[in-house]
Structure 1
Amino acid sequence: MTLRFTEVCIDAADIQVLGQWWAGVLGWPAETTDDGDVILRAAVGPDWLFLAVHDDKVVKNRIHFDFTPDDQQAEVDRLVALGARHVDIGQGDESWVVLADPEGNEFCVLAAEN
C-alpha cells in the first residue's frame, strides 16, 4: 500500500478571501470545489484546500510553510503590500522573516539561496 500527498488543508474563516489571497501570492489558479471549498491547483506538489471553520485561530501554528525567494527583501515587501504582516513568535534575530497571512497563519520567507 502507498500514500500520495495530494492536499494541504487550511482552515479559514473566509475561504474565498484567504484562498484568493494565497492564489495571488503563489500565482496559482483558485477554484471552488463541488463541496463549496476553495482549492489552489499547484503545478507541482500538493494542492491547497481551504476549508471553512467558525472558530478563531488563537495560538501559533504547529506546522507552517517556508518559502525561498530569489530576493528576500523584495518578496517580503511584496507580501506585506498584499496584506501579510510581520509577526514575532520568539524567533529572535534570524536569517528568515516570519509573516502572517490575513487570517494570522504564520509562514517564513527564508534567505535567498546563493
Structure 2
Amino acid sequence: MGLRWYGVVVDAADPARLGRWWAEVLGYPILDERNGELTIGPDLDMPCLHFTPAHEGKAGKNRLHLDLVPEDQAAEVERLIDMGARHTDIGQGQVTWAVLTDPEGNEFCVLREKAGE
C-alpha cells in the first residue's frame, strides 16, 4: 500500500475568489468547483490546490506557504502586486526572495531565478 500526495487545502473566506486569483497567478485551470469549494492545478493527476470555506479568520503567520520560482523575479513581483498581492514583513530580514501575501493575507515567497534555468 502506498500514498500519493493529492494536494494542499487552503481555507479561505471566499474560496471561489481566492482560487480564481491563484489560478491566474499560476496559470492553472479550474479543475472543479462545487459546494463552495474550488480546485486548481495542472491536471487531476498532479497535486492540486483546493480552496475551501474557512470557519474562522486567519490568525498569525502561515505554518505552510508556497515558494514560487519565476523566470524574472522583479517582473513577477510587479505582476503579482498589480494583481493584488502585497509585500509583507514576517521578520525575514535581508533575503534574496520576496515575501508577499495573497488577497486574503496568506504568505508566499517569490524566489530569485534559479541559475541555469
Scaled by the length of structure 1, the TM-score of the pair is: 0.93
Question: For the residues of structure 1 that align with 2:13 and 2:7, how far apart are their CA atoms?
Answer: 19
Question: For the residues of structure 2 that align with 1:10 and 1:24, how far apart are their CA atoms?
Answer: 16
In structure 1, runs of 5+ residues without a counterpart are none
Mean alpha-carbon deviation: is it higher for 85-94 or for 47-56?
A: 47-56
Tell me the alpha carbon deviations over residues 49-104 of structure 1, each in whole angstroms, 9 at most, x when there is no partner. Answer: 00101311010000111011110000000000000000000000000000000000
Q: Is the 8 A contact 2:15 2:36 kept in 1?
A: no
* Paired residue total: 114
CA distance 1:102–1:34, shift in 2 (3 Å): closer
1:97 matched to which residue of 2?
98
Question: For the residues of structure 1 that align with 2:56 and 2:105, how far apart are their CA atoms?
Answer: 13
Matches for 1:1-114 after TM superposition, within 5 Å = 1-43=1-43, 45-114=46-115
Equivalent residue letter for 1:54: H
Percentage of matched positions with identical amino acids: 50
Equivalent residue letter for 1:11: D
Question: For the residues of structure 2 that align with 1:79 and 1:41, how far apart are their CA atoms?
Answer: 18
Question: For the residues of structure 2 that align with 1:68 and 1:93, how far apart are their CA atoms?
Answer: 18
Scaled by the length of structure 2, the TM-score of the pair is: 0.91
Question: For the residues of structure 2 that align with 1:108 and 1:59, how far apart are their CA atoms?
Answer: 16
Q: Is the 8 A contact 2:85 2:103 kept in 1?
A: yes
Mean alpha-carbon deviation: is it higher for 27-36 or for 61-70?
A: 27-36
* Root mean square deviation, CA, Å: 1.4
Q: Is the 8 A contact 2:86 2:100 kept in 1?
A: yes
Mean alpha-carbon deviation: is it higher for 83-92 or for 48-57?
A: 48-57
